[in-house]
Chains A and B, each alone.
Chain A
């Protein structure tokens, strides 16, 4: 409070804080809140009439009032006003009432702000001046009103504390009210009030004790709870019922803040349950409930000692005759009913004895409570919850479920809502009983009220099982057509997850998904349609049906984003099935689609205004594929693709140029390049999908649907760097040993490069590098892929790698093919490079290889660095251009025995004049019988190049059938000159 000072400008300290004047000093007090219009204080002051009374806004309020207000209200105001004038001892300055009127009379927000600002300034002045103590609580009340309007009132916090410390009840009342409104438990200032609270808790007046208890109960922090718990405990024993019930609820707060304190309250709380007064009883019951949550001991204690008391309370209150004081719609104190039932639930949970004790009274409440009023239903609701919660008899459970059935058919929306709510919890107890209400619940999904719909949908989702999935899904899908747009997203997600989870036959799944895509394709999540594509790819007998259905759906619903994507993908892949009606199902009507129709559909999709880059890219890929499927359309497709050579989106531009080249110049390899995608591994995809993090999905997912490649990345080779890509593209299990992925005949890269199968057939690890394809054809515009592609250099590079006859594997390096010339040898060593030479892979543009500058100078022949009966190690040596002392070595480890080595670790040691840097190995499992190998790259720098030859000691440790093995050796057969 002392941080600001009053200005000394022309103001005598005793001048009353009348409205216009404080503005003069406002600028020195505190900068105005940001929302205030920046006006100079002086000019503002001159605009405001100087006469302090009567304030102009007041007269305006009076002038307006009679016209609009109801007569009795006006009379009341006038009376209040008069009584205020007579009774209020502080008639100087504005009173609370006047201020509220002035604020209400403000015509604009700006005017209101001005009034508030004026008042705040006056209050600040009053705070800083001495001799204004009498006005303090009035100022505080004003501040609270201002606070309620949303203006900052931090400067009043200390005033609260002063008021609390004052002696009289009126001051304390406003002080505590301010404390609760302006402060909360997190403020440091609150610590200062602990002492005042302590004094007030011990005050002789029960009213002041009540105030303190109330404040403590609403805002106490953990520290205060610890400090003041003894006082509250003492007050629990008080004779005054008001004090007792407040103390009980205060204890609730204390126990919530500091659960350790629970044990102090157990006995007291239990003894309070014997009271007759409802206020004390309900507070005590709530305290007991809180204690049960906080401490196991309390739970046990109450189970032993209080269960009879509780049953008695409930019996008394439910059997009591008409008591006007507590009567709500003919039911005596429903609030107490409900709190007792809740506590019973806590006690009976998992305790058969307790539950047994309650059975009778619960049955009585459940049967005898009137259910035509809200209060009765509230009790029944709680009673059902308790029956579901405790170890109730089966008869009681039936009773409860029947009550829910009645609720569900109630006309009141509130009751139906709570019924759905409990049914959701009841489903774990008794699924069959809930299933009986399936039809009603399904109706609730279509309710106009969003709250009910949401609950019902969640419940339906829980109700679905193998037997009812088809009718339920049909209902939901039918409803999807007319559902509210807001609701479609939820509904779509639920339908998709139901169909995926419970689909027994693929045809049904496809049908449902096609319907959903057609009706709400814009709400379908990416992973859902990715999964659909995986399923289609796996269901060879349904591919024709799928593409035809999608084609028809696309014609009817061209605006649905994900429908378009799936349809375009399928048309690209299975175009010929569309045109030739291949793979017809029995009940399927034949359709006539020409090749040109198919291309039209994709072109339309491409030009659809709502299509995004991903969709357009997919369309381009589909067109490219169609150019090979329908050679007659090739020319037209070329034109469509060519239109995008100047597309503003880099991705599309780049693809269209590349695809144009493929169509135009590489007819010989086109058909094999654009073959149908190999079957995607469904199980692995599902695993991936489940484990895929949200972060990687959005950027990489789109590519998975469109990348036409055998997605088998050599196991582990590219793994560390390309983990997300693996995640996305390696749809085969990446845990499979290398040997499992043998060379596939339709390996794209093979075709792409025109490499004969002869040498590849001997490949030890031939899992061909379809990274290339990924980069060539993949569409996701992820920067990493673009970076790899380095599209500015279309030149293809011919790399003079040394071929190793025994271990042939193809380089999974995009840069090798697409010519990222900056790729250093070390990065290629990170992947796999015991390779075969890609023969003049002048793929895309036919620029001569001479334009490419290889980063690798020359390659020395590879050496067999180590060979024993069990293990063979081959080193591939390469030199960096201009760095004669540096050698990049690529080691390939081959297992010569028939048992797999696990935990394989390769270590190397060199003399001091040589520096060694090891890259991570491709894996630590060496498959048996030379069926695969582990590779590891490392580089050595010979600091005494030309003087001393390279020398190295190596050690390999691994496990055979869990047994440790160790092999060592020295490599001395390095070629000279290293």
Chain B
């Protein structure tokens, strides 16, 4: 999907082929996220197949307009966006806390995917992205990426991602990618209980699960 938005004619030319290829692979990656597979270091050997270099290093990317829409007076250390993508680059969740054009969003998603997908699991979970920084973590075939300010505390966002995954795991009891696909609106709802206005709202897994239970009853 992603291919058709961002790339040259050559890729459009091979689009069907690639798409089929990816679809052929899709099923294989629907492995269920288990707590023990949660840490990248524990990923299965099959998951660690690529050692290839980044296609583009962050510094070569065009300068970002992620900040241009922000008031210049303050440089809020907020979350700029949260992305949830699978290995093929399909976006499963995209939450932007800064206004971006749709085309720009697609570009961002494409670039972030390219940045994180081929990184060695032993590398840092931080990639510089335009003028910002992406903190990503991989759970089975899914990449959770959070874009924050360059000076922000990376480690805590890494914990945030993990907490979010734990919440999802609790809520869907053994979450897998399909849960996120079919219940995407609930995932957004959980995210809205977890993060608001680019800031952390609740740090207790229990509180969020309880709250979700209440909300479910209303539906």
The interface of chain A, by Cβ under 8 A from chain B, is 35, 64, 68-70, 72-73, 76-77, 80, 97, 100, 104, 107-110, 112, 141, 144-145, 148-150, 152, 169-170, 173-174, 177, 180-181, 184-186, 207, 213-214, 217-219, 242, 245-246, 249-250, 252-253, 256-257, 259, 278-279, 282-283, 286, 290, 293-294, 324-326, 328, 333-336, 338-339, 342, 374-375, 377-378, 381-382, 385, 413-418, 421, 448-452, 454, 484, 486-487, 490
Contact = CB atoms under 8 A, between A and B. Distances in A.
B89 to A, nearest CB: 11
A108 B3 CA distance: 13
A674 to B, nearest CB: 43
Contact of B15 (A64, A109, A279): A109
Contact of A174 (B73, B153, B185): B185
A448 B69 CA distance: 35
Contacts, number: 218
B201 A110 contact: no
B65 to A, nearest CB: 13
Contacts of B211: 242
B44 interface: no
B53 A279 contact: no
A257 B219 contact: no
Contact of A207 (B1, B174, B205, B215): B215
A214 B192 contact: yes
Give me the 6 closest cross-chain CB pairs, A-B, nearest first: A378-B155, A68-B27, A184-B99, A217-B197, A449-B123, A253-B197
B69 to A, nearest CB: 8
Contacts of A252: 197, 199
Contacts of B169: none
A73 B57 contact: no
B145 to A, nearest CB: 14
Given A35-B4, A109-B15, A207 B214 contact: yes
Which interface class (under 10, 10 to 19, 20 to 34, 35 or more) fits B? 35 or more
Given A144-B184, A257-B71, A417-B126, A279 B207 contact: yes
Given A207-B214, A484-B53, A282 B200 contact: yes
A282 B203 contact: yes
A109 B16 contact: yes
Given A112-B1, A328-B163, A338-B156, A278 B184 contact: no
A417 B93 CA distance: 28
Contacts of B71: 256-257, 259
Contacts of A170: 218-219
Contacts of B214: 207
A450 B54 contact: yes
A325 B207 contact: yes
A374 B159 contact: yes
B52 interface: no
B206 A325 contact: yes
Contact of A377 (B91, B92, B155): B155
Given A148-B91, A207-B215, A328-B163, A246 B181 contact: no
Contacts of A104: 181
Contacts of A450: 54, 57-58, 123
Nearest to B183: A80
A170 B69 CA distance: 32
Interface of B, helix, strand, loop or mixed by DSSP: mixed
A224 to B, nearest CB: 13
Contacts of B163: 328
B204 A279 contact: yes
Interface in B116-161: 120, 122-128, 153-156, 158-160
Interface in B17-68: 19-20, 23, 27-28, 30-32, 53-54, 57-59
Contact of B156 (A64, A108, A334): A334
Contacts of A293: 74, 76
Contacts of B30: 69-70, 73
Most central of B53, B70, B120, B203 by chain A CB within 10 Å:
B203
Interface string B70-106: 1101101110000000000001111111011010001
A366 B93 CA distance: 37
Contact of A97 (B1, B95, B153, B182): B182
B128 to A, nearest CB: 7
Given A245-B201, A278-B203, 10 more contacts: A69-B27, A69-B30, A73-B32, A141-B185, A148-B94, A326-B203, A335-B159, A414-B154, A448-B123, A452-B123
A747 B179 CA distance: 83
Given A279-B203, A326-B203, A335-B159, A100 B197 contact: no
Contacts of A374: 155, 158-159
Contacts of A452: 123-124
Contacts of A326: 203-204
A382 B126 contact: no
A338 B153 contact: yes
A273 B160 CA distance: 22
A582 B39 CA distance: 66
Contact of A279 (B31, B32, B201): B201
Contacts of B31: 70
B2 A150 contact: yes
Contact of A110 (B2, B16, B99, B178): B16
6 contacts: A100-B181, A148-B184, A150-B91, A173-B189, A214-B196, A256-B76
